[in-house]
Amino acid sequence: MRGAVLLGDRKVEIREFPDPEPGTNQVVVRMKASGLCGSELHALYQVESELRRGTRTWGYIGGHEPAGVVEKIGPGVEGLKEGDRVVIYHIQGCGYCKYCRSGWMLHCPNAKRSYGWDINGGHADFILVNKENCVPLPEELSFADGACCACCTGTAYQALRRIGVSGRDRFVAFGLGPVGLSGVMLAKAMGAEVIGVDPIAERRELAKRLGASIVLDPTQVDVVATVRELTDQEGAEAAADFSGNPQARNQALDCVRIWGRVAFVGEGNLTTINPSPQMLHKQLTVVGSWVFGLWELKELLDFLVRHKLHPDQMVTHRFPLEEISKAFQVFDEGRTGKVMIEWQ
Ligand SMILES: [Zn+2]
Ligand SMILES: [Zn+2]
């Protein structure tokens, strides 16, 4: 089979690998859709190869947003059969610690490994996965829908669930890349009125299509003042920063009202805040939210079906595996929605 390895220095190489065979409790999935994620763009594609060489994430097939069809079943696998449509939860663990037992392999201290990072991922014709990582993909959803949920839409879902977004809220989303766009779509479905904030016009347009009633360019308007004007000077009920930008993080804290709720989702960057006026005196609930648990992936897929939502609406570019270098180049330019590798 073919598999794409991210080499750093903005290089991707397609190599030949043996077709995987499933061992006990393992499944081989024929790939149908594999999303490109901002995290692999930064950490595996843009990074200098010298920084990566010899690290545990060196040399594996990339791609941690896989969806496809079960091709082969190993001994001991029950409840899955050849031909089943599945999304892959992209983190595996020891299976025995309290985190693995509760579907939070993300926090497994013993044997955590992630597909596309330190085991072979989805940018390949086939992926070998543990049976418990396969989550059934409902017929109503496309493979690209499923691939979005495997990382970015799932990450947005946890954040919104943690701050309890509902129809009582004006919700402000800072950063309208694929995670933020997912946040816009989900918050709208949860009943909130959504304000989207991003300096890139293409992304603001996508946010409008996905349900934002107002979009703001932070380079042109005072975001906090505008949100206050829109909310009788009190501020929004809830906000999330999906950008990791220090200014956006501060604005997320400052644009919500007393008793407001804020989720920090975007990664990286040191940020200076003043907790007394920005958080304490406003009685804020501020949560850090990182990826999501296995059970939440199942819950999210059901939510999408019930609300007739399709995260593949934010896919702006689709490529076959042989054009993955071009896919990363386009994604690297930073003006896209979701970029997806697809198989016929
Ligand atoms: Zn990701
Ligand atoms: Zn574990």
**CATH number of the domain within which 247 lies:** 3.40.50.720
In this prediction, residue 260 carries a pLDDT of: 98
Total number of domains in the chain: 2
In this prediction, residue 19 carries a pLDDT of: 97
* Dist. CA 292 → ligand 2 center (Å): 15
1 closest CA partner among 28, 20, 23: 20
In this prediction, residue 316 carries a pLDDT of: 95
164 plus 274 within the same structural domain: yes
119 plus 9 within the same structural domain: yes
* Dist. CA 3 → ligand 2 center (Å): 28
In this prediction, residue 49 carries a pLDDT of: 86
Residue ending a domain, choose from 244, 266, 288? 288
In this prediction, residue 52 carries a pLDDT of: 79
Ligand 2 ion: residues within 5 Å (CB): 93-94, 97, 100, 108, 110
204 plus 300 within the same structural domain: no
* Dist. CA 290 → ligand 2 center (Å): 17
Residue ending a domain, choose from 257, 273, 288? 288
Residue ending a domain, choose from 259, 288, 317? 288
* CA distances to 50, 59, 60, 144, 205 from 55, in Å: 10, 9, 11, 30, 39
279 plus 300 within the same structural domain: no
CA 245 to chain centre: 17
296 plus 314 within the same structural domain: yes
Task: Write out the two tokens for 132.
Answer: 């418990």
90 plus 224 within the same structural domain: no
* Dist. CA 75 → ligand 2 center (Å): 22
Q: How many CB atoms lie within 10 A of CB 64?
A: 26
In this prediction, residue 236 carries a pLDDT of: 98
In this prediction, residue 57 carries a pLDDT of: 74
133 plus 168 within the same structural domain: no
* CA distances to 107, 169, 186 from 152, in Å: 18, 22, 12
- pLDDT tens series, the chain, 344 aa: 999 999 999 999 999 999 999 999 999 999 999 999 998 998 889 998 888 777 777 889 999 999 999 999 999 999 999 999 999 999 999 999 999 999 999 999 999 999 999 999 999 999 999 999 999 999 999 999 999 999 999 999 999 999 999 999 999 999 999 999 999 999 999 999 999 999 999 999 999 999 999 999 999 999 999 999 999 999 999 999 999 999 999 999 999 999 999 999 999 999 999 999 999 999 999 999 999 999 999 999 999 999 999 999 999 999 999 999 999 999 999 889 999 999 99
In this prediction, residue 55 carries a pLDDT of: 79
192 plus 281 within the same structural domain: yes
Q: Which ligand is nearest to the CA of 111?
A: 2
* Dist. CA 229 → ligand 1 center (Å): 35
Task: Quote the CA–CA distance of 291 and 9 in Å, as a whole number.
Answer: 26
* Dist. CA 150 → ligand 2 center (Å): 19
* Dist. CA 146 → ligand 1 center (Å): 13
CA 4 to chain centre: 20
334 plus 267 within the same structural domain: no
pTM: 0.96
92 plus 194 within the same structural domain: no
Per the structure, the complete domain to which residue 283 belongs is given by: 155-288
131 plus 200 within the same structural domain: no
**CATH number of the domain within which 137 lies:** 3.90.180.10
242 plus 205 within the same structural domain: yes
